[in-house]
Every structure is written in structure tokens, then in C-alpha cells.
């Protein structure tokens, strides 16, 4: 019985692997370049690409449970559909798919719409899966740490509706728990969706206040101008991705990213501890600056 992890070298995938190894699971990691892989002892590394069907067939051979994580890339949707089709042909009946919260609401945001299409495939084809739907990753804000500390501005277009931001460490732990639950079940388990959220819903002004407290100086919220946000992102990411992020930011402003009533309680019960907070992240980040 083998659990295959895609996105294995990324922040979440690497943590998922560590959790699985800690629980004694037989783990296989799919990577493009095995020479760059650095995993715990016992993890089998297999070379492959989500657009290379032959390498996927090889990687999926003998796998019982699949963790499917697709990076935000132009062909993300195609990668996921190919992977699920190949997995189904290989007889894999236990899958955990990392989607995104409100994928069915943010319908004009490319990577949200793509993930919702994958969810529909899972549902329509009767695939036994857990669909994890995380909110905004707290650690995304590491990319703007220098803006916060150097200019005293929190620039993300969070708005005043609020985002239920979640720590990626909690995402990885819950993903590993679901993989183990499905792997260890006597029979393939039915489809389920789990919203992954943080312990509180934060506004742009609220996050600026948290940073003010953590850094001991005044931080103001400067978000809301999504056109400027897009232009800034284009300095370090492709234009298509910057536009995608702008579309997401606009939906933050109009809709927010709110949890359902029982989400926090459900996740707290699963973990057996409180969810990590944005304030803890800000304090950790400030201490390491």
C-alpha cells in the first residue's frame, strides 16, 4: 500500500510527506528532477511530469492512494484531468485533491475556475476523494514582508469583507490525516469536501493592526487598488499570473473569503488543537526579520 504525493518538493507537499513518514506510511514522491529531491529516508522518488502520460503511468503503478496538488500554471486544469484519468485507469480509488475554497463562487478567476472544473470531474466520474478547499495561505504574505517592514504598508487587496486565512502547516497536516484515513480504510471512502480555514476572519485593516503590534510601529492598510496590485506583481511573476491574482483580489473585495459556520470547529476537532493564527505568523516573521 503506497501513497503517492504530487507537488512533492513544494512547501505543502514536502510537509505532507514528512507527516506521512512520521506515521510509518509507504510514501512515493513524484518529481521532475530527482537529483534535486531531498526527502526523509525511505521515501521512494519517481521522475515524472503531470503532462507526460507515460511517466504518470509508471509513477502510479502500484499506488493505492494519491495526493493531487497542482501548481498555479497555465495548464493546471489539463494536468489535473490527465492525472485523474491515469489514476482511475491504474485502479487508484483513494484520492485527496487540493482545490480552493469558493471555487464555485470565484468563477471568473482562472485558477479557481480550473479547480472547480476538476471538482466537477471528480464528482461526475464517481471518484472516491477528499476535496480539500483551503482559503488564502497565510504564508503567501511572506512575499510582501519587505514591503510591510520597509514602507509600513500592508498592500494585499484583502478589503473589509474578510478572509479566513489558514497556515500552510495546518493544510499539510490535515491533508496527511485525510490521506492516512483513506489509505487505512477497509473500503474506498465516499466523496467529501472540507473547507480549510484559519481561526478568524481578517480584514485588511485588521491585518495591518496585527503587523503594527508585531513590529512595534504603525502599519497601514494600502490595498484596494487592484490595478496597481497587478502592476506590482508583474515585476516578479508572468503577466497571466499577475492578472489571475488581480482577479482573485477583486473577488476578495466584493465577496470576501468566509468560512461556513462549522468549519473552525470541525478542523479544530480533527487536529486536536487550535488552528494557527495570523498573529502567531506575524510574530514569528517579525522575530526572524
- Check whether 13 has a pLDDT greater than 90: yes
Q: What is the pLDDT of residues 154-173, one digit of tens each?
A: 999 999 999 999 999 999 99
Instruction: Give pLDDT tens digits for 263-283.
Output: 999 999 999 999 999 999 999
Residue 98's closest CA among 114, 74, 75? 114
- Report the first-to-last Cα separation within the chain, whole angstroms: 43
Q: What are 94-146's pLDDT values in tens digits?
A: 999 999 999 999 999 999 999 999 999 999 999 999 999 999 999 999 999 99
Please enumerate in sequence order all residues whose Cβ is within 8 A of that of 70, keeping only pairs 6 or more positions apart, or say none: 6, 7, 50, 76, 79, 80, 83, 98, 115, 118
* Nearest C-alpha neighbor of 96 from the set 188, 21, 198, 197: 188
The tens digit of pLDDT for each residue in 18-27 reads 999 999 999 9
The pLDDT tens digits of the residues spanning 217-270 come to 999 999 889 999 999 999 989 999 999 999 999 999 999 999 999 999 999 999
Residue 1 has pLDDT above 90, yes or no: no
The whole-number pLDDT of residue 223 equals: 83
Helix (H) or strand (E) holding 29: strand 27-31
| C-alpha distances out from residue 266 to 188, 193, 271, Å | 22, 12, 9
Residue 203 clears pLDDT 90, i.e. is over it: yes
Average pLDDT over residues 178-187: 98
Residue 101's pLDDT is 98
**DSSP 3-state of 21:** helix
Percent of the chain clearing pLDDT 90 (strictly above):
97
Segment 39-70, tens digit of pLDDT: 999 999 999 999 999 999 999 999 999 999 99
Between CA 248 and CA 289 the distance in angstroms is 28
Residue 267 makes CB contacts below 8 A (sequence gap 6+) with 170, 174, 194, 196, 197, 275
Q: What is the pLDDT of residue 86?
A: 98
CA-to-CA dists, residue 224 to 239, 254, 257, angstroms:
19, 11, 15
The domains located in the chain, with CATH, are 3-136+166-196 (3.40.50.720)
Give dist(CA 242, CA 86) in Å, integer. Answer: 31
Residue 14 is inside which H or E element, if any? helix 11-22
Cα distance between residue 140 and residue 143, in whole Å:
6
pLDDT value of residue 226: 95
φ, ψ dihedrals at 124, nearest 5°: -70, -30
Asked if residues 207 and 220 have their Cβ atoms less than 8 Å apart, the reply is no
Amino acid at each position: 500500500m503506497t501513497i503517492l504525493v504530487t507537488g512533492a518538493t513544494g512547501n505543502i507537499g514536502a510537509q505532507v510527506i514528512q507527516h506521512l513518514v512520521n506515521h510509518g506510511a509507504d510514501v512515493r514522491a513524484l518529481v521532475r528532477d530527482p537529483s534535486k529531491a531531498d526527502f526523509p529516508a525511505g521515501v521512494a522518488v519517481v521522475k515524472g511530469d503531470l503532462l507526460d502520460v507515460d511517466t504518470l503511468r509508471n509513477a502510479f503503478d502500484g499506488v493505492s492512494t494519491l495526493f493531487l496538488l497542482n501548481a498555479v500554471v497555465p495548464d493546471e486544469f489539463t494536468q489535473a484531468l490527465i492525472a485523474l484519468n491515469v489514476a482511475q485507469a491504474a485502479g487508484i480509488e483513494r484520492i485527496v485533491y487540493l482545490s480552493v475554497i469558493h471555487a464555485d463562487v470565484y468563477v471568473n478567476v482562472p485558477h479557481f475556475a480550473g479547480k472547480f472544473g476538476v471538482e466537477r470531474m471528480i464528482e461526475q466520474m464517481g471518484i472516491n476523494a477528499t476535496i480539500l478547499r483551503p482559503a488564502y495561505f497565510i504564508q503567501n504574505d511572506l512575499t510582501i514582508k519587505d514591503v510591510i517592514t520597509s514602507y509600513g504598508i500592508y498592500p494585499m487587496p484583502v478589503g473589509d469583507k474578510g478572509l479566513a486565512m489558514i497556515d500552510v502547516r495546518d493544510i499539510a497536516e490535515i491533508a496527511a490525516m485525510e490521506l492516512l484515513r483513506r489509505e487505512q480504510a477497509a473500503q474506498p471512502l465516499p466523496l467529501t469536501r472540507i473547507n480549510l480555514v484559519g481561526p478568524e476572519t481578517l480584514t485588511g485593516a485588521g491585518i495591518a493592526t496585527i503587523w503594527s503590534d508585531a513590529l512595534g510601529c504603525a502599519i497601514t492598510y494600502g490595498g484596494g487598488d487592484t490595478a496597481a496590485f497587478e502592476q506590482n506583481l508583474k515585476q516578479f511573476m508572468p503577466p497571466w499570473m499577475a492578472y489571475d491574482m488581480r482577479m482573485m483580489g477583486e473577488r476578495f473585495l466584493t465577496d470576501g473569503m468566509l468560512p461556513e459556520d462549522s468549519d473552525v470547529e470541525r478542523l479544530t476537532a480533527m487536529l486536536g488543537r487550535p488552528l494557527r493564527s495570523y498573529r502567531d505568523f506575524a510574530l514569528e516573521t517579525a522575530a526572524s526579520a
